[in-house]
Structure 1
Amino acid sequence: MPGRIWAAAKAVAAVAFSVQALFSGTSQASPAPISPRSSLTTTTRPLRPYPGNRTNYPSGLPRNDSSSANPNYATAARGNVTVLMPYDRAHNSYAPDLKQAQQTWGAANNVSVHWKDFGPNVDYDAYVQRVLQACSSGQDDFDVIWVEASYVGVLADCLVDMWAWSDTLGSDHNGAVARGGVIKDRLVALPAELSFGILLYNMDLLTRYNYYSPPASVAEMEEMATQILIGEKVMEHQALCGLTGAMFGEPLASMATEWLAGIGAALVNDTGDVTIATTPVAGLFAQVINWLQSGIIDQADVGTADMDAAIARFTNGNAIFLRTTTSMLPQIMSTLETAWFGWGVAPVPSQLENGLGVGTIDGWFTGVYRHSSNPATALRTVEWLTSAEYQKQKILKVGTRMVGTFPQFLLDRQICQAYGSVRDVSLCLIYSQVNLARRPIPQTGAKYPNISLTFQKFLLNLLDGNTYIITGLENLDKSLRTQLDLPPRDYSIILDPGVIGRPGKIIPQKVGTQLAGLFLVVGVTALVVFLYRRKQRLDLQSELRASAASVVEAAGQGGAPAGESHEMGQVKEEKTERKSKGKEKEEDPYGENTSLIQKSEKIEI
Structure 2
Amino acid sequence: MTVMRFYDGLVCLALLASAGCARGPSHAVTLTVLGFNLDAARALRAEALDEFTRTTGIEVDLIPTWGTSAEQLGQTLRLLNQHASTPDVYLIDVVWPGTLGEHLLNLTPYQDPDSRSHIPALLANDTVKGRLVSLPFYVNIGMLFYRTDLLAKYGFPHPPATWDELESMSRKIQRGERAAGNRAFWGYVWQGAAYEGLTCNALEWQASFGGGRIIEADGRISVNNPHTIQALRMAARWVGSISPASVLSYTESDSLNAFRAGNAAFLRYWSGGVKARSDGALLPAGPHGRAQAMGGFHLAVSRYSTHPQQAARLVMYLTSGPVQLRRALTGGRLPTIPQLYQDPALVESFAYAGALQTAGAAAWVARPSTIAGSHYAAVSQQYYQTVHRILDNETPAAEALAALERKLVELTGLRPGAPE
Alignment TM-score, normalising by the size of structure 1: 0.60
The reply on whether 1:301 has 2:247 as its aligned counterpart is yes
8 Å CA contact 2:224, 2:401 repeated in 1: yes
Match of 2:15 in 1: none
After TM superposition, list the pairs within 5 Å mapping 1:243-258 onto structure 2. Answer: 243-248=188-193, 249-258=195-204
Q: Does the CA contact (< 8 Å) of 1:184 and 1:443 recur in 2?
A: no
Distance 1:385 1:140 in 2: 21
Q: Deviations over 1:324-346 (max 9, x none)?
A: 0110113996xxxxxxxxxx321
Shift of 1:163: 2.6
Matched-pair contact (CA < 8 Å) for 1:451–1:480: yes
Any gaps of 5 or more consecutive residues in structure 1? Answer: 1-76, 334-343, 492-605
Q: Which whole-Å CA distance do the structure 2 matches of 1:387 and 1:473 have between them?
A: 41
Relative to structure 1, the CA distance from residue 180 to residue 260 in structure 2 (aligned partners, 3 Å threshold; closer, same or farther) is: same
Deviations 1:361-390 (A, max 9, x none): 111100111210111111111111111122
Q: CA RMSD for the aligned pairs?
A: 2.5
Q: 2:236 aligns with which of 289, 294, 299?
A: 289
Work out the percentage of aligned pairs sharing the same amino acid.
23
Query: Which residue, out of 6, 9, 34, partners 1:84?
Result: 34
How many residue pairs get aligned? The number is: 387
Partners of 2:61 and 2:38 in 1: CA distance: 16
Q: Is 1:484–2:412 an aligned residue pair?
A: yes
Code of the aligned partner of 1:349: P
Q: How does 1:11-90 map to 2 (within 5 A)?
A: 79-88=29-38, 90=40
> Which residue of the partner structure matches residue 410 of structure 1?
341
**Partner-residue secondary structure (3-state), 1:362:** strand
Which residue in the other structure is 1:579 paired with? none
The CA distance in 2 between the partners of 1:322 and 1:90, in whole Å, is: 26
Question: Which of the two has higher C-alpha Rg?
Answer: 1
Residues 97/218 of structure 1: CA separation in 2 closer, same or farther (3 Å cut): same
- Deviation of 1:273 after TM superposition, in Å, equals 0.6
| Partner secondary structure for residue 98 of structure 2 | coil
Q: Distance in 2 between matches of 1:217 and 1:280?
A: 16
- Alpha-carbon distance in structure 1 between the residues aligned to 2:375 and 2:316: 27
Partner deviation per Cα, 1:429-484 (whole Å, 9 max, x = no partner): 23234421111122112211111111111111112222111110101111111111
Contact 2:114/2:320 (<8 A) preserved:
no
Q: In structure 2, do the counterparts of structure 1 residues 331 and 395 end up closer, same or farther at CA, with 3 Å as the change threshold? A: closer
Q: 2:294 aligns with which of 331, 342, 361?
A: 361
Aligned 1:210-289 pairs, distance under 5 A: 210-248=155-193, 249-266=195-212, 267-289=214-236
Show the 5 A alignment for 1:322-401. Answer: 322-330=267-275, 344-352=279-287, 357-398=290-331, 400=332
* 1:438 maps to which of 363, 366, 390: 366
Select 1:112's aligned residue among 43, 51, 59.
59
* Residue type of the alignment partner of 1:370: R
**CA distance in 1 between partners of 2:344 and 2:113 (Å):** 28
Which residue does the alignment assign to 1:138? 83
SS of the counterpart of 1:155? helix
Question: What does residue range 491-506 of structure 1 map to in structure 2 within 5 Å?
Answer: none
Structure 2: 5+ residue stretches without partners: 1-26
Mapped to 1, the partners of 2:299 and 2:330 lie a distance apart of 20
1:481-502 deviations in Å (ceiling 9; x for gaps) = 111102468x9xxxxxxxxxxx
Q: Is 1:196 matched with 2:141?
A: yes
- Which amino acid letter does the alignment assign opposite residue 263 of structure 2? N
Whole-Å Cα distance in 1 between the matches of residues 313 and 29 of structure 2? 11
Matched, 1:427 2:352: yes
Classify 1:321/1:413 alpha carbon distance in 2 versus 1 (closer, same or farther; 3 Å): same
Shift of 1:158: 2.2
8 Å Cα contact 1:90/1:115 also seen in 2: no
1:86 and 1:127 in contact (8 A); partners too:
no
Secondary structure of the residue aligned to 1:150 is coil
- Contact 1:190/1:367 (8 A) holds in 2: yes
